[in-house]
Amino acid sequence: MTYLSPGSLRKNEPMSAHVSWRAGGSAQLFYVPLNREDLFGFVREHSQSVFHVMGLGSNLLVRDGGLSETVIQMHGALKEIKIITQLAHELVLEVEAGVPAPKVARTVARLGYQGAEFLAGIPGTMGGALAMNAGCYGHETWDCVQTVVTMDEEGCFHERTAEDYDISYRHVALKNSSESQIPHRLQPTNEWFIASKLRFINDPLRQGQRIIKELLARRVASQPLGQPNAGSVFRNPPEGFAAQLIEQCGLKGLREGSAEVSQKHANFIVNTGNACATDIENLIYRVQQKVWEECGVSLQPEVRIIGNTKG
């Protein structure tokens, strides 16, 4: 993927260069802030704009018609990790939203604490992990959150706790927020995660780095990491697993243009060459329809789909 230097503002920026599916249209404006203060200034200066906030683009599909809104990319800008508390029994870090989740896992393990190992399996930034309560291997992001710092669309900062949110499986919404039911936003609230304080406990046996290696080996063995993808496409239903249902329906290898249901992991859709966003979205719908017809289960996308269809 392409990473712009902090402080960059571009017009008509191809989003295919910034999302892991390597597909999609262009953003009318694309900005990478220098730091929190610069982000504050940019949002205030463009107060009439509608913003989409993104990290690594690992859970995002931008339709081929692109975006008329302004995209703000946190990755490469808000990337600091600070030690707030380091005691024998606990570690508290302040982690900015643009920090990749695997970096947090490695940092915690290196310092001799545990509880962050699962973050090594999340291919996105902490901002995105907070926004969707990302998780794997039986753990979720908000399990280790003490507080978060957010910014609203007027440039105001807020400090919040988990009590301020409705949090569940792959869902985080600010309580009483009028934005919480709008599905096309990159954030399910009208505030963006800027940073978080995360708490971890002591790892007396120093097993963190070993566990991370084991989890990454499992990931390499089970997921199509060599092809452009956006991770798990569908949330697991209340009973069972999306991948099992898709495979049960015989959908591995199903194609739409150059988009394909992965032969390695049925809940992944890969770009085998020059797939466009429309190919990927159509394949998502075809999988949903087939699973509904054969299993009576309505699969809900875990990936976020935004933007305009190409006219």
Angle at 65 between CA 177 and CA 187, to 5 degrees: 20
Q: Does domain 225-306 have CATH number 3.30.200.20?
A: no
E strands, the chain, where? 9-14, 26-31, 51-54, 60-62, 67-73, 81-86, 90-96, 113-114, 135-136, 139-140, 145-152, 157-160, 165-168, 171-174, 191-202, 255-256, 259-261, 269-271, 304-306
Annotated active-site residue 170? The verdict is: yes
Catalytic residue among 20, 96, 302, 304: 302
How far apart, in whole angstroms, are the C-alpha atoms of residue 64 and residue 290? 24
Catalytic residue among 170, 199, 235, 286: 170
* Tokens encoding 222: 């089970």
Annotated active-site residue 302? The verdict is: yes
Q: Does domain 81-210 have CATH number 3.30.43.10?
A: no
Catalytic residue among 232, 260, 262, 304: 232
pLDDT tens for each residue of 184-213: 334 444 789 999 999 999 999 889 999 999
Q: Are 271 and 22 within 8 A, CB to CB? A: yes
pLDDT tens for each residue of 241-297: 999 999 999 999 999 999 999 999 999 999 999 999 999 999 999 999 999 999 999
pLDDT of residue 188: 40
How far apart, in whole angstroms, are the C-alpha atoms of residue 166 and residue 6? 33
Using CA atoms, how far residue 34 sits from 7, 42, 244, in Å, is: 5, 10, 43
Q: Where are the domains of the chain?
A: 9-73, 81-210, 225-306
- Choose which CATH entry (3.40.50.460, 3.30.43.10, 3.90.1150.10, 3.40.50.10490) describes domain 9-73: 3.30.43.10
**Which of helix, strand or coil describes residue 278?**
helix
Which ranges of 133-181 does DSSP label H, i.e. alpha helix? none
Walk along the chain (311 residues) and give the pLDDT tens digit of each residue.
666 777 889 999 999 999 999 999 999 999 999 999 999 999 989 888 889 999 999 999 999 999 999 999 998 889 999 999 999 999 999 999 999 999 999 999 999 999 999 999 999 999 999 999 999 888 999 999 999 999 988 888 999 999 999 999 999 998 875 444 443 334 444 789 999 999 999 999 889 999 999 999 999 999 999 999 999 999 999 989 999 999 999 999 999 999 999 999 999 999 999 999 999 999 999 999 999 999 999 999 999 999 998 86
Q: Are 67 and 25 within 8 A, CB to CB? A: yes
pTM above 0.85, yes or no: yes
